[in-house]
Structure 1
């Protein structure tokens, strides 16, 4: 068996083949695996993606994001970037090219989405991080990233209930959340 240090984890993840239906991402040197998402999750991603005008933005699913200075390769539910800044090809999209990321909370991803990824995306200076939470029927819009490493955070936080519109200033759009579903019979959590 070969030992793999934190610097080699990203390379190891490139060679790793998770089982079918499982997503694996590197978050602060830890490989986190998630089962296939629930239909509620997928429909929220679909409703969100369809509201982003493709003449100005590309909402991309399952795109690995490279966070400079981090031992992390997150795979947001949606990455939003301007078409003219995207490279012709590639596995990793540098966070400097990303305008926004969207994560839909699942029953098992609450801590990662609200805490771990919040810090990772802020460290990558991604201007907007939108958390869509079908457990709490709320959206959390985070903007103004600041800080470094695990101390990075977003300085601005806005909480919007499902059903109310969200103004995404940096994309120049208003997101309709009235079609967002929720998970039935799931215990509430304490985040954000």
Structure 2
């Protein structure tokens, strides 16, 4: 295991079986469970995944990421890695093999996606973190990770409204956001 886990929460997480349709992940020593996503979420994942060229990148869903020095095993909505760096098997993909992670915000994941995971992914040195936010109809592109632990952060941040292309330089592509839907009747938030 690559994550620091003094309380044994990772072992506990391995042993529990969440109900069908529930995702469980370890974020800074806290087990967080999320219900099945909204259709808007799933369609954004689909539209994003289809734009990533499989000959250069594998966009993986439900892939646990291990981060050295972190008591965390996040499960991003999409993990993007080069096919030639992937291990033959295993549940935990080391963060140093990951080029990009994508999270789609839901009304219950706003704080985790914008604050907690931002710091965790930066601590893992993941070059690109893309937050797709159907509440605010925007994408937040985070690059240039630096720091350790809770002080880790991304030094570059760009906010792009839905309908505008997102320059995913580390993947060598521009992400078309024109097909991304929004969540109706959800109160706006103040992030990032």
Q: Distance in 1 between matches of 2:21 and 2:101?
A: 22
Pairing 1:134–2:125 present: no
The corresponding residue for 1:49 is: 49
Q: Distance in 1 between matches of 2:10 and 2:30?
A: 10
The corresponding residue for 2:156 is: 156
Deviation for aligned residue 1:6:
4.0
Q: Distance in 2 between matches of 1:105 and 1:78?
A: 12
The corresponding residue for 1:98 is: 98
**TM-score after normalising by structure 2:** 0.97
Q: Distance in 1 between matches of 2:40 and 2:50?
A: 16
Structure 1 vs Structure 2 CA RMSD:
0.8
Q: Distance in 1 between matches of 2:108 and 2:167?
A: 28
Q: Which sections of structure 1, spanning at least 5 residues, go unmatched?
A: none
The corresponding residue for 2:166 is: 166
Q: Within 5 Å, which residues of 2 pair with 1:73-112?
A: 73-112=73-112
Deviation for aligned residue 1:11:
1.0
Q: Which sections of structure 2, spanning at least 5 residues, go unmatched?
A: none
Residue deviations 1:72-126, cap 9 Å, x none? 0000000000000000000100000000000000110000000000000000000
**TM-score after normalising by structure 1:** 0.97
The corresponding residue for 2:11 is: 11
Is the 1:7–1:71 Cα contact (8 Å) retained in structure 2? no
Q: Secondary structure at the match of 1:132?
A: strand
Runs of 4+ in 1 over 3 A off after TM superposition: none
Q: Secondary structure at the match of 1:113?
A: helix
Pairing 1:27–2:5 present: no
Q: Secondary structure at the match of 1:76?
A: coil
Tell me how many residue pairs correspond in the alignment: 188
Q: Distance in 1 between matches of 2:150 and 2:63?
A: 22
